[in-house]
Amino acid sequence: MAAAVRRLLKELQDIQNDPSEEIVFLAPIDDESILRWRAVLRGPRDSPYEGGRFELHISVPEQYPIRPPTLTFVTPVCHPNVHFETGEICLDILKSQWSPAWTLTSTCLAIQVLLANPEPSSPLNCDAANLLRCGDVMGYRSLVGLYTRMYALPQEHLQ
């Protein structure tokens, strides 16, 4: 676990020294455990998620970076590769394609890219995936935009 703590402290320092435009917030949840993090991603530009803020919970295993972290959306997200109720994310780097070269920042950025580039052939949300599979991009963008407005817009946008 000492290696994981050292690595996470280094990542936290890198985040503070070089913040990302795409990531609004990325830090441990509290001072009790460096293995529990919170992230907030901006919705990708030119996507139906644009303008949204999407919160993720990150659980880091003691064997990090050898084993991947578990990331789940806290904000409800309508996306073919995200389970709407649990927030589970279907992304190969979170499972079989994980490498210790990935950081929490690069993993969050990969999830942000996934938002704009869904893969309907491996869905966790069949309704969203079926819209894309049958070529109804307008319907898909409309549905995603609706959920983004309902759940992911910052409060100041709602007044």
* Residue 25 CA neighbour count, 13 Å, CB half: 13
Q: Do 125 and 137 touch, CB atoms closer than 8 A?
A: no
Q: How far is residue 57's CA from residue 67's CA, in Å, rounded to a whole number?
A: 17
Q: How far is residue 34's CA from residue 116's CA, in Å, rounded to a whole number?
A: 30
- Active-site residue, 134 included: no
In eight-state DSSP terms, residue 39 is E
| Of 65, 22, 20, 27, residue with least CA distance to 44 | 22
In the set 90, 108, 126, 134, the catalytic residue is: 90
Helices (H), the chain: 2-17, 104-116, 126-133, 137-151
Q: How far is residue 107's CA from residue 41's CA, in Å, rounded to a whole number?
A: 11
Give catalytic residue positions: 90
